[in-house]
A and B are shown apart, each in its own frame.
Chain A
Amino acid sequence: MIPAEFDYYRPKDMAGVLSLLEEHGDDARVMAGGHSLIPMMKLRMADVPHLIDLQDVGGLSDIEVGPDAIKIGALVTQADIIDHAGLTNVAPILREAALQIADPQVRYMGTVGGNVANGDPGNDMPGLMQCLDAAFTVVGADGERTIPAREFYEAAYMTAREDDEVLTGVTIPLPKGGYAYEKQKRKIGDYATAAAAVQITKDGGSCVSASIAMTNLSDTPIYSEAAGAALVGTSLDDAALSAAVAAMLGDIDPTEDNRGPVAFKNHVAGVILRRAIERAWSRA
């Protein structure tokens, strides 16, 4: 549980970060809260000869609630999300999800940027961001670009971000309607057996839009467009729910681990999604 030797840097601005990344290439990694990266280094599963701490880079810790969109800086912690009343007013799903991540100690350190950049299928925020159709802003030597969350994840620990790019923030269109983040886990501090993020709008008794994303049921988060589509135009009767679950099951691809075999995970994914949809609908 002792990492290999590494050099530690704490640049004061993004230019400093980018030049270190350029200088050391693959041998350098940025660190935000460190609560995914440091365990990997201690297990010697990540070899990071040059560790660049982002904590002193200014301008990455703000939460801005605008008229159409929310901007969350990369270094905003999960605890900050939970504590921000203005954010909870407009996007309560963020708080509901953040409260189901790890435990308070981890949430004081873990950041939104680290959680979405990490690329671990167990992280909760990637699926959440896909459900909310967020976009990630990254900056590199060639300047800034924006990548939709739904196009960001390629495989476990593989994302559309280049190694020399830094994620600076997340932009989320103001969510509408009812929401739910439903997660089954074995204990506090555990990653999901299955989790579902759902955002639904309705008009009268009929579903107008539905966005659904699942966590830890494939090697990436799964935005299930088909599952959402199965609800639109329905009154969310049992047939519609079953159709949404069936569509979602067609999109996920869970693997067996200590949480259980594939059949169990599929079943639980269905149950969790159903509950999330029902809760979101009741709040829509």
Chain B
Amino acid sequence: MKDDITREERVDNLKGMGCSRKRVEDARFTQGKGNYVDDVKLDGMLFGDFVRSPYAHARITNIDTAAALEVPGVLAVLTAADLEPLGLHWMPTLAGDKQMVLADGKVLFQGQEVAFVVAEDRYAAADGIELVEVEYEELPVVVNPFEALKSDVVLREDLVAEDGSIPDGAHGPRKHHNHIFTWDAGDKEPTEEVIANADVVAEETMYYHRTHPCPLETCGCVASMDKVNGKLTLWGTFQAPHAIRTIVSLISGLEEHNIRVISPDIGGGFGNKVGAYPGYVCSVVASIVTGKPVKWIEDRMDNLMTTAFARDYHMTGKISATKEGKITGLHCHVTADHGGFDACADPTKFPAGFMNICTGSYDIPTAYLEVDGVYTNKAPGGVSYRCSFRVTEAVYFIERMIEVLAIKLNMDAAELRRINFIKKEQFPYTAALGWEYDSGDYHTAWDKALKTVDYDGLRAEQAQRVEDFKAGKTRKLMGIGLSFFTEIVGAGPVKNCDILGLGMFDSCEIRIHPTGSAIARLGTISQGQGHATTFAQILASEIGLPADSITIEEGDTDTAPYGLGTYGSRSTPVAGAATAMAGRKIRAKAQMIAAYLLEVHDNDVEFDVDRFVVKGAPEKFKTMKEIAFAAYNQAIPGIEPGLEAVSYYDPPNMTYPFGAYVCVMDIDVDTGVPEIRRFYALDDCGTRINPMIIEGQVHGGLTEALAVALGQEIAYDDMGNCKTGTLMDFFLPTAWEVPNYETDFTVTPSPHHPIGAKGVGESPHVGGVPCFSNAVQDAFRPFGNTHTNMPHDHWRIWKTANELGLHG
């Protein structure tokens, strides 16, 4: 048999890995045909909404629901008293703490859920909320974690024993009634000794402010309890639908097979949609109570003020080096503000996430990290906003410490990085804080980046600018922001990564249809990342069927195999690996079928793009399409009919994407307005599955990095009032504020991942935040600045200039 198309054309037809295939999701998204949770409309569906606390800390002495129940259309008002008999007034958090579903005698943060009004429509629910009368007795408010650790005010009476002693928490001993845990990594004494005896030590205290992932679609769900067959269906904005099913089963007592969780299209997650929220529990209870479907959808203020903040790390660092700039030790202490409940979304054994990646991309022989978690009167959360478990905090920390050290050494910060990078030949590299970096080639990436932006030319221009400024010729300073980051993604190996005891493997199940098309289902769930596009590309290359003939389905726990969901850049490293492995199982069976059809021994055929060929006789082959049909219509001795496979992939290690970023910024010292003139981003995410999607992810991640660095924050006043509850004050950049991004890459495949891919969605955020921040700080370096805290909004930049005496 002869082929009329070339091998190259056959490769192109697959649209497999490396192809900038257009996103298959976009046809529906760009035409308004997506199906989000708020699009779920069921017969007789009710709406639930919360009465929320106006106070950050108060005792509740009475809740009167009578007037609310008079509102036409209001059917029920749930309070903690109603949930208590079911044991549902509190729920477990992902961090081993528990959280009130509805205020149980007191509130711990402004916006806390106090009562759940269930009504026939949203309007009636909103009117009902106005009429629920709650009597509060205000308590002293603690918003600062350092004060919390000294304060007599007890935030969590439930965590103090009757005799006043402080029982251990989920992560060991607690030092104070407002203390949650101490977690450490590395070698304390040796690190202290190295630092005490070092040539040079730089110290800095920095606050990585509280912010919020703020996806365009807020959180929400629809719970529908079918009392006839005892089955609960729960649609929701869940980044981890299977985990939600298990949690719902554990806390509700419903058997897991009677629960079906569906994540429909999700309009962005960024970590906000990993956790379990009171709205989910209340909707489920309300549906059970009323026998009707109940919908709950957050509004923007609810979302910003109550579900899942990110960051809020007070970090103190010491970094030591030789006179020549070789780093010898790193010490980091974090006071972590977790708010009223510890609802961080981290693997169980890592209450501070992967903060212990804070040695960064550098060969630092000795290091020690200690994190203290603290309760305050702020909203709970602590999610990984477009990053893998506190990696943004870690990378920000080290990329600032490097700059601070460069200042101390009076050295160029790019050069300081270069002489301390882990060298290519050192990989796999075990860092002082325990992680084994799988692969990297930092020097190549760094040199490429600096050369592309003409780093030396930029420094010369900056020096000239400083001269001009001093001579009164300009009022604008120039900052060059550098950042070299190493991410740690793809959580993770079941031996050390689990959430609530669920191992963080992931899965893929493939069914090949007789005519040579396929459906693959995964344990992950796209929130905009384009899984339906890229996972089909992985499979196309693995099984030789065109990506266009492969449907990817996620998010329905009744059909998808169990997985831990999508966050922490884990989909490609874990589910992507499962996809490749399941594809290889398909291929292995296909090989036997091909050999049978070609009447040769199994080992005499080999895979070639979209077919198996007889070795040495390429004109003898069977295409995957033909093989698929044969799997369903031939009785092959010793082989079962059908062509299906499933793989559960437990990754042997994390993957370690890295990148080199440079930002050039002009700063108006009189107004504090920064202007980004140039942003160059080189990413190495290993094997590149879809370059176009990578570029889109980089643009999005950088934009969220810009937001966080330059203004996005969740701020509280001393009374615990949230000052940034709307998009007027919470900075969400538009196209107007965003610069043109230049993207670039190197490719260092992961040695342990089946296709060498590492994940990219979060890298630009992780690397971008310090890059933008460093640019601001660098502009002021010639005038004596070592560090100022983010967010670098106009007034804080102005304040830096003012304090440095630049306003004359």
Contacts and interface: CB of A to CB of B under 8 A. Distances in A.
Interface of A: 1-2, 4-5, 44, 103, 184, 186-191, 193, 258-261, 263-264, 267-268, 271-272
Nearest to B668: A271
Nearest to A271: B670
B300 A1 contact: yes
B643 to A, nearest CB: 51
Interface string B274-316: 0000000000000000000000000111000000000000000
A184 B798 CA distance: 13
Given A5-B123, A187-B736, A260 B130 contact: no
A184 B300 CA distance: 26
A263 B733 CA distance: 26
A44 B54 CA distance: 15
Most chain-A CB neighbours within 10 Å: which of B127, B671, B734?
Answer: B671
Given A184-B794, A260-B795, A260-B798, 15 more contacts: A1-B299, A2-B122, A4-B126, A4-B130, A184-B673, A186-B711, A187-B731, A187-B733, A188-B736, A188-B737, A189-B727, A258-B729, A261-B795, A268-B672, A271-B670
B724 interface: yes
Contacts of A103: 734
A2 B794 contact: no
B737 A187 contact: yes
Given A2-B126, A184-B671, A264 B734 contact: no
A261 B736 CA distance: 26
Contacts of A5: 123, 127
A258 B716 CA distance: 11
A250 to B, nearest CB: 19
A190 B711 CA distance: 13
Interface of B: 122-123, 126-127, 130, 299-301, 670-673, 711, 715, 723-724, 727-729, 731, 733-734, 736-737, 793-795, 798-799, 802, 807
Report, nearest first, the 8 A-B pairs whose CB atoms are least far apart: A260-B795, A2-B126, A1-B299, A188-B736, A264-B795, A271-B670, A258-B729, A188-B734
B130 A44 contact: yes
B670 A267 contact: yes
Contacts of B802: 263, 267
19 contacts: A1-B299, A103-B734, A184-B794, A186-B731, A186-B793, A187-B731, A188-B737, A189-B728, A193-B794, A193-B795, A258-B723, A258-B729, A259-B795, A260-B794, A260-B795, A261-B795, A264-B795, A267-B670, A271-B670
Nearest to A194: B671
Nearest to A270: B670
Nearest to A184: B671
B671 A268 contact: yes
Contacts of B724: 258
Contacts of A261: 795
A23 to B, nearest CB: 24
B807 A267 contact: yes
Contacts of A191: 728
Nearest to B298: A1
Nearest to B799: A264
Nearest to B728: A190
Nearest to A260: B795
Nearest to B730: A258
A106 to B, nearest CB: 12
Nearest to B737: A187
A271 to B, nearest CB: 5
B36 to A, nearest CB: 17
Nearest to B301: A1
Contacts, number: 65
Contacts of A264: 672, 794-795, 798-799
Contacts of A267: 670, 798, 802, 807
B725 to A, nearest CB: 10
A248 to B, nearest CB: 16
A151 to B, nearest CB: 29
Nearest to B729: A258
Contact of B794 (A188, A259, A263): A259
Contacts of B793: 186, 260
A258 B798 contact: no
Most chain-B CB neighbours within 10 Å: which of A2, A191, A193, A261?
Answer: A2
A44 B799 CA distance: 36
A271 B801 CA distance: 14
Most chain-B CB neighbours within 10 Å: which of A1, A103, A187, A190?
Answer: A187
Contacts of B727: 189
Nearest to A103: B734
A19 to B, nearest CB: 28
Contacts of B300: 1
A2 B298 CA distance: 12
Contacts of B671: 184, 268, 271-272
Nearest to A190: B728
Contacts of B301: 1
A272 B798 CA distance: 14
Nearest to B669: A271
A2 B127 CA distance: 9
B303 to A, nearest CB: 11
A219 to B, nearest CB: 18
Contacts of A2: 122-123, 126
Given A2-B126, A258-B723, A187 B734 contact: yes
A263 B126 CA distance: 41
A4 B122 CA distance: 11
Contacts of A271: 670-671
Most chain-B CB neighbours within 10 Å: which of A103, A267, A272?
Answer: A267
Given A44-B130, A188-B734, A267-B807, A258 B123 contact: no
A283 to B, nearest CB: 21
A189 B734 contact: yes
Contacts of B299: 1
Contacts of B731: 186-187
A259 to B, nearest CB: 7
Nearest to B707: A187
B100 to A, nearest CB: 24
Contacts of B729: 258
A187 B730 CA distance: 10
Contacts of A1: 299-301
B791 to A, nearest CB: 11
Nearest to A193: B794
A191 B729 CA distance: 10
A258 B736 contact: no
A155 B802 CA distance: 32
Contacts of A268: 670-672, 794, 798
B799 A4 contact: no
Contacts of A44: 130
A40 to B, nearest CB: 12
Contact of A186 (B127, B794, B798): B794
Most chain-B CB neighbours within 10 Å: which of A186, A190, A263?
Answer: A186
A87 B799 CA distance: 41
A263 B672 CA distance: 13
A103 B735 CA distance: 11
Contacts of B795: 193, 259-261, 264
Contacts of B737: 187-188
A69 B731 CA distance: 41
A17 B130 CA distance: 30
Nearest to B302: A1
Contacts of A188: 734, 736-737
Contacts of B127: 4-5
Contacts of A189: 727-728, 734
Nearest to B807: A267
B132 to A, nearest CB: 14
Nearest to B798: A264
Nearest to A261: B795
Contacts of B122: 2
A83 B795 CA distance: 34
A39 B741 CA distance: 35
Nearest to B126: A2
A260 B795 CA distance: 5
